[in-house]
Chain A
Amino acid sequence: MSLKIVVLAKQVPDTRNVGPDAMTEQGTINRAALPAVFNPEDLNALEQALRLKDQFPGSTISVLTMGLPKSAEVVREALYRGADEGFVVTDRPLGGADTLATSYTLAQAVKKIGDYDIILGGRQAIDGDTAQVGPQIAEKLGLTQVTYAEEILSLDEKARKVVIRRHIDGGVETVEAPLPLVVTVNGSAAPCRPRSAKRLMKFKNATVVAERKPEDAEKYEALIAKKPYLNIPQWGAADIDADPAQIGKAGSPTNVKAVKNIVFKAKESRTLTASDADVEGLIKELLDGKIIG
């Protein structure tokens, strides 16, 4: 018996290490200066998927990401660590999506992948910080959900049920839920296993079309004819049968009216004295920047 597992993984700017060049002159975020990383909790989700695969040999893990063509990096990383295949959803009209449009798009892509027993994602992405995409995908697919999961304790394939330990406010809870199911995995779950050197060698040249230089087209064609697994399927809005009114900016009820950055220019420290003026000045600055208060 084997399972069909989908893992949702997002490429995110590493907001945990914001350096001095993280802000542009204009005061907006300089995404180019922040290294793009595998969203940390999505790695926890991948580990839970790999454990299911260990337990149910023959299971397949499909990694799904939406983002710029370069987000194929997370698919490759997942392949190195043991995923079987990956898909990158990338298209101009998908840009500017809020969580609702994101979850619609990902739900459409999951439907295209086809049958699935369990969909695993991270609890939250470290850029948007909303934790909304998992539950919204579950709703769109008509599935139930288990959020803040720490460990999949057991899975009964015959009864089509899983038992999961999850974090709750002030404690833990063990729940039993039916398959198919959406699970979002918390950062307190087991860390992901490292890359396998063998798999790294195998998949390091895997790409999506948009990553390939036009002049290399023939080279890739020959390569992929021999090794089809080096082609990471790339899907646009039409490929996943997406309703243009529900994707990207158009499909997003939320609108950003204003953005204020509160990153202090650099990690260079400012030295103050204990004088009343200095202490009050600091407090006011923190209050004005909505950092406290």
Chain B
Amino acid sequence: MNNVFVYCEIEGTTIVDVSLELLSKGRKLANTLGVQLECICAGKGLDGIEKQVFPYGVDKVHVFDAEGLFPYTTNPHASLVVNLFKEEQPQICLLGATVIGRDLGPRISSAMHSGLTADCTELEIDSFEMSIGGVKKFYENQLCQIRPAFGGNIVATIVNPEHRPQMATVREGVMKKEIVDPNYKGEVIKHDVAKYVPETEYVVKVLERHVEKAKHNLKGAPIVVAGGYGMGSKENFDMLFELAKELHAEVGASRAAIDAGFADHDRQIGQTGVTVRPKVYIACGISGQIQHLAGMQDSGIIISVNSDPDAPINAIADYVINGTVEEVIPKMIKYYKANNK
């Protein structure tokens, strides 16, 4: 009772990264609260699925294994989670801010009448005094859910002290995946799916499904590091991958950089490439021709690294670093590592 739950998203029979990241976060929250970490695995052919989650410190795995549970459709998954939660009364529930998590989370929150905070970038436990509905109270050990909103222009801390579970979704790559103990052993509970999901809930049929292991997620990335012809060489361009890895960012490129062979075609940003609207766009050695700007000008914060103080891109940048990429990029990597606790 009152434990921390993670809904594990499963592609085929593999638990996706964001769910493992959430297990790591969930473990820490459970430790702070002195409770157990439990997770839900729903799909088909899930024998041995627990092996994928135990190393992250899961105390209890709830397995729902049935024909109709993969591919994911809304109602059966919502129904099993809601019915399980009515028994287990979790205090926290975390889901990936993926297509599935954002389809399922609100449905559960509506059924449980509990708050759900979308796309959290930080989750922490705190105690505080707060006045709700005109009544001031001290609330102990609440989940503080920190999220950007307003197109990334503000960051809000959201709490839901009077309702349980406290629910949050988190994007892939935001939390860090950490193995607690490769030999960690928890309990496996295999549920009778029919008890949780009435036959009438199988209402949507998946007729066709194509999933490609994405090479990158340039379009959805909150931070994009893009390189241009000014990167000078493929070797130099590779520094951007290093910076992007640190920042959990994706790498994009100008057409001139791609034509020069610094990066693959599918990373082109601009009029004839993809359009991105990240929170942060770091343009390295990109002059900022109109065709390139067309694909990134709506980015939140634009940082330009360029040796030419008059490069056109500087006119739309929030920050301009006058300098060569050879000098600046390694420093960005170095100081990010040094200052990101």
**Nearest B residue (CB) for A267:** B318
Residue A29 CB within 8 A of the other chain: yes
Contacts of A261 on B, CB cut-off 8 Å? 153-155
* A170–B113 CA distance with the chains assembled, in angstroms: 31
8 A Cβ contacts from A241-293 to B: 249-250, 252-264, 267, 269-274, 276, 278-280, 282-284, 286-287, 289-293
Tally A-B pairs: CB < 8 A.
Answer: 253
Interface bin, chain A: 35 or more
Describe B's contact surface by its main secondary structure. mixed
Contacts of A239 on B, CB cut-off 8 Å? none
A292 contacts B247, C-beta separation under 8 Å: yes
Residue B55 CB within 8 A of the other chain: no
* A25–B47 CA distance with the chains assembled, in angstroms: 59
Residue B203 CB within 8 A of the other chain: yes
User: Which of A16, A145, A255, A263 meets B74, CB within 8 Å?
Assistant: A145
B321 contacts A291, C-beta separation under 8 Å: no
B210 contacts A173, C-beta separation under 8 Å: yes
User: Which of A100, A127, A289 meets B151, CB within 8 Å?
Assistant: A127
A255 contacts B158, C-beta separation under 8 Å: yes
B321 contacts A282, C-beta separation under 8 Å: yes
**Nearest B residue (CB) for A140:** B110
Contacts of B75 on A, CB cut-off 8 Å? 144
B147 CB to nearest chain A CB (Å) = 8
* A133–B105 CA distance with the chains assembled, in angstroms: 11
User: Which of A168, A174, A260, A291 meets B279, CB within 8 Å?
Assistant: A291
Residue A131 CB within 8 A of the other chain: yes
B116 contacts A132, C-beta separation under 8 Å: yes
**Nearest B residue (CB) for A167:** B99
The stretch that binds B, out of A46-54, A175-183, A190-198, A228-236, is A175-183
**Nearest A residue (CB) for B164:** A253
Interface bin, chain B: 35 or more
A101 CB to nearest chain B CB (Å) = 10
B155 contacts A269, C-beta separation under 8 Å: no
**Nearest A residue (CB) for B298:** A16
Contacts of B181 on A, CB cut-off 8 Å? none
Contacts of A274 on B, CB cut-off 8 Å? 321-324, 327-328, 331
Contacts of B154 on A, CB cut-off 8 Å? 29, 259-263
A174 contacts B207, C-beta separation under 8 Å: yes
8 A Cβ contacts from B145-197 to A: 146, 148-163
A270 contacts B320, C-beta separation under 8 Å: yes
B95 CB to nearest chain A CB (Å) = 12
A264 contacts B301, C-beta separation under 8 Å: yes
* A266–B73 CA distance with the chains assembled, in angstroms: 45
A78 CB to nearest chain B CB (Å) = 23
**Nearest A residue (CB) for B247:** A292
Q: Which of A98, A171, A254 has the most chain B CB atoms closer than 10 A to its own CB?
A: A254
Q: A135-B104, A257-B158, A293-B336 are in contact. List 13 more A-B contacts (CB 8 A).
A: A99-B106, A127-B151, A129-B151, A144-B203, A174-B208, A253-B163, A255-B160, A269-B318, A273-B321, A282-B303, A283-B332, A284-B339, A287-B336
Q: Which residues of B are in contact with A by a Cβ distance under 8 Å?
A: 71, 73-75, 78, 98-100, 102-107, 109-111, 113-119, 121-122, 128, 130, 132-133, 144, 146, 148-163, 203-214, 223, 247, 277, 279-280, 298, 300-301, 303, 309, 314-324, 327-328, 331-332, 335-336, 338-340
13 pairs, CB–CB < 8 Å, chain A vs chain B: A16-B151, A130-B119, A144-B74, A170-B214, A249-B133, A269-B315, A274-B327, A276-B331, A280-B338, A287-B340, A290-B155, A291-B280, A292-B247
